Chains A and B, each alone.
Chain A
Amino acid sequence: MNGETSALRLRGLTKRFDRLAVDALDLTVHSGEFYALVGPNGAGKTTTLRMVAGLLKPDAGAVEIFGIDALKDPVAAKQMMAWVSDEPMIYDKLTPLEYLEFVAGLWGIAPKTAQATAHVLLVSLGLEPHMNERCEGFSKGMRQKVALAGALVHDPRLIIVDEPLTGLDALSARHVKGLLGERVRAGCTVIMTTHILEVAERMADRIGVIAAGRLVAEGTLDELRRQNGHADTSLEELFIALVDAKAAA
């Protein structure tokens, strides 16, 4: 943890579709922290993050981003964050460079600054040889990297990534993990959902386990072990024990 203010504060966040997807969730992520949100399928991870990103309206509760009420002033909140979906949404008929130009324009970044950042990002993600090719022929991994570059080009203080490693090859996954790690070291906050528990175990400062729309455990890996009386166990075993316990309850 690098700071004391909270990057994200959720209070009583609730969302119901056919069933209760997020159940009065309270969650705090500190500034400069790498926070991993893990949970079984349908636990409410993506729904929670979509509400934070302003893509879904909560039925109840509050969302605060760096002290700004994101429900009252969504534009100010969005200025500070970036959202990367598990299904990369980019434009087939634009090149990565054109895409980054568009994203920078949307966030109101000065063209010169944006262009320099875009170039650095494309190089670090291994996309430089393809930066003037239209995205229509790109693989899922390349598209994911373009989307990630788009999220980073406006230098957000909070990055929310939903399953960023899905469909990536080992080298691309390494690029992405490296880039996210660098951002955290530079003071940025990252909130990531993942099914790959090893990644959460290795990269996250704190891990939140969510099941049936509620946070069932939270802390560093050691704290989680202590809380649950499973010394020397892996996150995977802890995760299964926690989720089973929630299901039994």
Chain B
Amino acid sequence: MSSAVTLTWFARHELRLAWREWLAMMTGGRRRRTRAAIIGLIVFAAVMHLPAWAVVGRFARLQAPLDKPSLIVLSATIFLAWALMLSQAIESVTRVFYARADLDLIMSSPVTLPNVFSIRIVSIAISVTGMALLLSTPFVDVLAFKGGARWFAAFGVVAAIGLSAAAFAIAITIILFRLIGPARTRLIAQILAAVIGAGFVIALQIAAILSYGTLSRFAVLTSDAAAGIAPGANSLVWWPAHAVLGDGEALMLLLASSLVLLGLIMAAFSPRFADTAVTAAAHAASSRQAKGARNFRGGSRQAALRHKEFRLLRRDPWLMSQTLMQLLYLVPPAIFLWRSFSDSSTAVVLITPVIVMAAGQLAGGLAWLTISGEDAADLVATAPLSPLRVIRAKIEVVLIAITAVFAPLVAVLAIVAPLQAAITAAGILLGAVSSTAIQLWFRVQAKRSAFRRRQTSSRLATFAEAFSSIGWAATAALALAVPEAAIVSGATTCAIVAATWKLSPKRD
């Protein structure tokens, strides 16, 4: 095969792998579900037009030239989309280095490695951009329907920021490799991927709280202070915003610069991709040294199980990144709470649903890891303790971890508003117990490393967990504002949890 044919063939192979990975994510790895997944996706895309209408419909008549605050809001939204794509691209690059099983095969084959890895870089860029185009379609459709075809230029902007996000992700990951080594890169990249998108929104919220005493991030973006420090109307910073509004010249320049950036990154980093892959593989084959020998612990059999679970949770990079993201979401309410010490603002009520929601989601993740993600299932099943005691020990781990994370926040809240603290604590408990119960009813034996794809094993459990967390968050908020409505909301959430139990697989 000629070099060009080899590269075309490899590009096809990469795209096929990306497609199958995505399909496996949607179908939970079951091929029979492919048609259902595609129909589900079309229905989802159609339904997404409704929230898209609500969110962006009123902006469809926006015309250039925009005033400064509008330019800032539009550019910040584009930057947020870019940050989210960057986070997904970092995750994809990390997976290529650490999780793909084909690196040995590729590197032992008689192909020019920099060329092959260039294709791999392009493939990452295409898959990140493709996903972003898919998700942005309902929003662009609504804008184009209400505001004219000029809005289709937004697709070009999505493509441009997708390409540049992929380029940045590759550069960041390889630079991290060089600076901190493969072991830490894996953890840091996973944490970065989890927090980059959320971090931008949270930073805006924190700025809004500190400056204006509100949780609305738009308060900062539309403020006079922001307009004062923003560059002039002709600055390059506004190119993406101009391009979205249909400025063809800005769009072409944006696309061209993204392609040039990706090309430069490919030229600079493709030769190093192979070295980096070798280092990552070598790291996988070597082992991390734990602390030196110490005495074995005593205690009951359940204590041994709990201790093992805590040890594994502490060492789980995916959980670390997830937990960090959840904790990051708690930073704005925590700062809000701190600010509320000085005044008698009733807005402090807003933090209760945020905390309850975060507790439910975190409990769901922890419960999956401890109950389903048991790597030595045979060992635990053949141990001399009843399955009931095993499950009880694992549930205790989830509840202890949730208590450790949320108790300080509730304790501080109790000083400001004791009743609210009590309701928040009850909400946390109900949210955590419901999520844990759902994970228990839908447990499947899986490797801990499958945590990232835990939602594919049961869509029902995933949605039920989300709805129960939202339900308990709403109930807790209503209990503070309209107690009668809280009864209805609480009953509805109980009904959701009960229906989930009814639909869960039957066990002996």
- B286, B305, B311: the one within 8 Å of A94 (CB): B311
In the complex, which residue of chain B has the Cβ closest to the Cβ of A75?
B384
Are A130 and B287 interface neighbours, CB within 8 A? Answer: yes
Are A134 and B287 interface neighbours, CB within 8 A? Answer: yes
Chain B contacts for A101, CB-based, 8 A: 296-297, 304
Are B290 and A137 interface neighbours, CB within 8 A? Answer: no
In the complex, which residue of chain A has the Cβ closest to the Cβ of B390?
A106
Chain B contacts for A130, CB-based, 8 A: 287
Chain B contacts for A75, CB-based, 8 A: 384-386
Known A-B contacts A101-B296, A102-B304; A83 and B382 likewise in contact (beta carbons under 8 Å): yes
Interface size classification for chain B = 35 or more
Chain A contacts for B385, CB-based, 8 A: 75, 106
Q: Determine the distance from Cα of A61 to Cα of B379 in the docked complex, in whole angstroms.
A: 24
Are A94 and B312 interface neighbours, CB within 8 A? Answer: yes
Chain B contacts for A85, CB-based, 8 A: 378
Known A-B contacts A102-B308, A105-B307, A114-B296; A78 and B383 likewise in contact (beta carbons under 8 Å): yes
Closest chain A CB from B372 CB (angstroms): 15
| Per-position 1/0 for A39-83, Cβ under 8 A of B | 000000000000001110100000000000000001110110111
Are B381 and A133 interface neighbours, CB within 8 A? Answer: no
Say if the beta carbon of A6 comes within 8 Å of chain B: no
Say if the beta carbon of A3 comes within 8 Å of chain B: no
Known A-B contacts A132-B292, A134-B290; A89 and B307 likewise in contact (beta carbons under 8 Å): no
Chain B positions 301-322 with a Cβ under 8 Å from a chain A Cβ? 301, 303-305, 307-308, 311-312, 315-316
Are B290 and A132 interface neighbours, CB within 8 A? Answer: yes
A-B contact count (CB 8 A): 123
Known A-B contacts A98-B290, A137-B284; A103 and B379 likewise in contact (beta carbons under 8 Å): yes
Known A-B contacts A89-B376, A137-B285; A104 and B296 likewise in contact (beta carbons under 8 Å): yes
Q: Determine the distance from Cα of A148 to Cα of B412 in the docked complex, in whole angstroms.
A: 50
Interface size classification for chain A = 35 or more
Chain A contacts for B291, CB-based, 8 A: 132
- A79, A118, A133: the one within 8 Å of B289 (CB): A133
In the complex, which residue of chain B has the Cβ closest to the Cβ of A78?
B384
Closest chain B CB from A118 CB (angstroms): 8
Are A105 and B376 interface neighbours, CB within 8 A? Answer: no
Say if the beta carbon of A131 comes within 8 Å of chain B: yes
Q: Determine the distance from Cα of A102 to Cα of B383 in the docked complex, in whole angstroms.
A: 11
- A74, A90, A104, A131: the one within 8 Å of B376 (CB): A90
In the complex, which residue of chain B has the Cβ closest to the Cβ of A105?
B304
Chain B contacts for A118, CB-based, 8 A: 296
Closest chain B CB from A143 CB (angstroms): 11
Tell which of B289, B291, B295, B383 has the most Cβ of chain A within 10 Å.
B383
Chain B contacts for A92, CB-based, 8 A: 375, 448-449
Are A91 and B376 interface neighbours, CB within 8 A? Answer: yes
Are B296 and A133 interface neighbours, CB within 8 A? Answer: no
- A74, A91, A93, A106: the one within 8 Å of B304 (CB): A106
Q: Determine the distance from Cα of A91 to Cα of B300 in the docked complex, in whole angstroms.
A: 20
Closest chain B CB from A146 CB (angstroms): 10
Chain B contacts for A105, CB-based, 8 A: 296-297, 299, 301, 303-305, 307-308
The 9 closest A-B pairs by CB, nearest first: A105-B304, A133-B287, A137-B287, A111-B296, A79-B384, A93-B315, A78-B384, A106-B383, A89-B376
B: residues with CB less than 8 A from A are 284-293, 295-301, 303-305, 307-308, 311-312, 315-316, 375-386, 448-449, 508
